[in-house]
Structure 1
Amino acid sequence: MRWALIGASRIASGYVIDAIRAQEGADIQSVLSTDLGRGTSFAKNNGIPEALTDLDMLLADDTVDAVYISTTNEKHHPQAMAAIAAGKHVLCEKPLAMTLEDAVEMVRAAREKGVVFATNHHLRNAGSHLAIRELIASGRIGKVLSARVFHAVNLPEHLRGWRINDAAAGGGVIPDIVVHDADSIRFHLSEDPVDVVAKAGTSGMGEGVEDSVMSVWSMPSGAMVQTHESFTHGFAGTGIEFHGTEGSIFARNVMTQEPVGEIRLVDQSGESPVTFQAHNLYHRALGLFTNAVRGNGSPSADGVDGIKSLAVAHAVRQAAQSGSAVRVDYGGF
Structure 2
Amino acid sequence: MRWALIGASRIASGYVIDAIRTQDGAEVCSVLSSNAERGAAFAQENAIPESFTDLDAQLADDTVDAVYISTTNEKHHPQAMAAIAAGKHVLCEKPLAMTLEDAVEMVRAAREKGVVFATNHHLRNAGSHLAIRDLISSGRIGSVLSARVFHAVNLPEHLRGWRINDASAGGGVIPDIVVHDADTIRFHLSEDPVDVVAKAGTSGMGEGVEDSVMSVWSMPSGTMVQTHESFTHGFAGTGIEFHGTEGSIFARNVMTQQPVGEIRLVDAGGESDVPFETHNLYHRALSLFTDAVRVNGTPSADGVDGIKSLAVAHAVRLAAQSGKTERVDYGGF
Question: Would the TM-score normalized by the shorter structure come out above 0.5?
Answer: yes
- Measure, in 1, the Cα distance between the counterparts of 2:57 and 2:295: 28
- Measure, in 2, the Cα distance between the counterparts of 1:203 and 1:270: 39
Identity of aligned residues (%): 88
Residue in structure 2 matched with residue 27 of structure 1 by the alignment: 27
- Measure, in 2, the Cα distance between the counterparts of 1:219 and 1:284: 29
Q: Secondary structure at the match of 1:28?
A: strand
Residue in structure 2 matched with residue 265 of structure 1 by the alignment: 265
- Measure, in 1, the Cα distance between the counterparts of 2:63 and 2:255: 36
- Measure, in 1, the Cα distance between the counterparts of 2:37 and 2:266: 54
> What residue ranges of structure 2 are gaps of 5+ in the alignment?
none
- Measure, in 1, the Cα distance between the counterparts of 2:294 and 2:307: 24
Report the alpha carbon displacement of residue 177 of structure 1 after superposing the two structures with TM: 0.1
Residue in structure 2 matched with residue 232 of structure 1 by the alignment: 232
Question: How many residues matched?
Answer: 333
Residue in structure 2 matched with residue 215 of structure 1 by the alignment: 215
Q: TM-score, normalised by structure 1?
A: 1.00
Q: Secondary structure at the match of 1:248?
A: strand
Show the 5 A alignment for 1:1-333: 1-333=1-333
- Measure, in 1, the Cα distance between the counterparts of 2:66 and 2:57: 14
Report the alpha carbon displacement of residue 24 of structure 1 after superposing the two structures with TM: 0.2
1:12-58 Cα shifts (integer Å, max 9, x gaps): 00000000000000001100000000000000000000000000000
Q: After TM superposition, which residue ranges in structure 1, 4 or more long, deviate above 3 angstroms?
A: none
1:239-268 Cα shifts (integer Å, max 9, x gaps): 000000000000000000000000000000
Report the alpha carbon displacement of residue 175 of structure 1 after superposing the two structures with TM: 0.1
- Measure, in 2, the Cα distance between the counterparts of 1:125 and 1:163: 24
| Letter of the structure 2 residue corresponding to residue 318 of structure 1 | L
- Measure, in 1, the Cα distance between the counterparts of 2:169 and 2:187: 27
| Letter of the structure 2 residue corresponding to residue 114 of structure 1 | G
- Measure, in 2, the Cα distance between the counterparts of 1:51 and 1:60: 13
1:77-114 Cα shifts (integer Å, max 9, x gaps): 00000000000000000000000000000000000000
> What residue ranges of structure 1 are gaps of 5+ in the alignment?
none
- Measure, in 1, the Cα distance between the counterparts of 2:327 and 2:42: 43
| Letter of the structure 2 residue corresponding to residue 145 of structure 1 | L
Q: Secondary structure at the match of 2:57?
A: helix
1:176-211 Cα shifts (integer Å, max 9, x gaps): 000000000000000000000000000000000000
- Measure, in 1, the Cα distance between the counterparts of 2:34 and 2:214: 36
